[in-house]
Amino acid sequence: MEYAINQLIKSLINPANIIIFILLILVTVFYKKIRGFMGEFWVKQELKKLPKYKYIILNDIMIKSSKGTHQIDHIIISIYGIFVVEMKNYYGLITGEEHQNKWIQHLGKNKYYFNNPIHQNYGHIKALEELLNFSEDKFISIICISNQAKIKVKAKNVTQLDFVNDLIKSYNNEIIIEDLSKIKNKIEQNNITDKEIRKSHIKNIKNTVKENNDKEKNMICPKCGGNLVERKGKYGKFIGCSDFPNCKYTSKNI
């Protein structure tokens, strides 16, 4: 018995086992960050396959507009338009509609609500529109979701990683006459690289999400400040703003 206990203790204090144990803890603690990092990595690898003579790719760009800072995952500059790609490294079943404020991640019987990435990407496009002094029709919004997810979203340009390049290449009307290298240079010149500003941006987003969640719990519309009420739609009951149709904010299905 004593021999068995000693062997167990030796195996537990084995350096290799300790390293594995530490790695498991780190993966558990930083799981979301690791998934996010890997999602961005694989999108970069996929976008690199686009012909370099046709497309200029910029990754992880942060710019400032009159409404604050905007962190943009990927920008592809071409004569066919400026593609603004928002990556979501989700898995499970993803459902939602273009104008809904919240989409749903289904994991078994559990539902997890997250902000509509189309709305988020629209803010990025408006910031680029302001910076470049281009009209909105020069920009193309793309939401790219992990291959691990099953997508049932009623919206244009929501795709999976394997098909993002095909979607980009499906646009073949020449709508940009400006010098592409000048567009690239202007974006890069205004790219915020300061680590403290970037940390502050993330903190502000978390605070805004918390404030909006608190408002929803108190049945206050985060968009206009009106009252949230129970409504009925073709897909069942949901929470929406009482000021509809002036405010089309919806929260979630009940």
Q: Which of 135, 198, 139, 142 is nearest to 167 (CA)?
A: 142
Q: 248 and 155, same structural domain?
A: no
Using one digit for the tens of pLDDT, what is the confidence trace for 80-93? 999 999 999 898 99
Q: 233 and 154, same structural domain?
A: no
- The larger pLDDT score, comparing residue 246 to residue 208, is at 246
Confidence of residue 204 (pLDDT cuts 50, 70, 90): confident
Please state the separation of Cα 67 from the chain's center in Å. 19
Per residue, what are the HEC states of the chain?
CHHHHHHHHHHHCCHHHHHHHHHHHHHHHCHHHHHHHHHHHHHHHHHCCCCCCCCEEEEEEEEEECCEEEEEEEEEEECCEEEEEEEECCCEEEEEECCCCEEEEEECCEEEEEECHHHHHHHHHHHHHHHHCCCHHHEEEEEEECCCEEEEEECCCEEEHHHHHHHHHCCCCCCCCCCHHHHHHHHHHCCCCCHHHHHHHHHHHHHHHHHHHHHHHCCECCCCCCEEEEEEECCEEEEEECCCCCCCCEEEEC
- Tell me the percentage of the chain whose pLDDT exceeds 90: 50
Confidence of residue 76 (pLDDT cuts 50, 70, 90): very high
Q: 240 and 123, same structural domain?
A: no
Q: 48 and 159, same structural domain?
A: yes
Q: 208 and 128, same structural domain?
A: no
Sheet with 236-241: strands ordered across: 228-233, 236-241, 250-253
**Structural domain ending residue among the three candidates 161, 193, 225:** 193
Q: What is the pLDDT of residue 31?
A: 43
Q: 205 and 118, same structural domain?
A: no
Query: What's the number of domains the chain is made of?
Result: 2
Q: What is the pLDDT of residue 199?
A: 80
**Structural domain ending residue among the three candidates 193, 211, 237:** 193
Structural domain span for residue 232: 194-254
Q: What is the pLDDT of residue 100?
A: 85
- Check pLDDT > 60 for residue 173: yes
Average pLDDT of every residue of the chain = 83
Q: 182 and 133, same structural domain?
A: yes
Using one digit for the tens of pLDDT, what is the confidence trace for 99-144? 888 899 999 889 988 889 999 999 999 999 999 999 999 999 999 9
The answer to whether 217 and 88 are in contact (CB under 8 A) is no
Overall average pLDDT of the 225-242 stretch: 75
Q: 230 and 136, same structural domain?
A: no
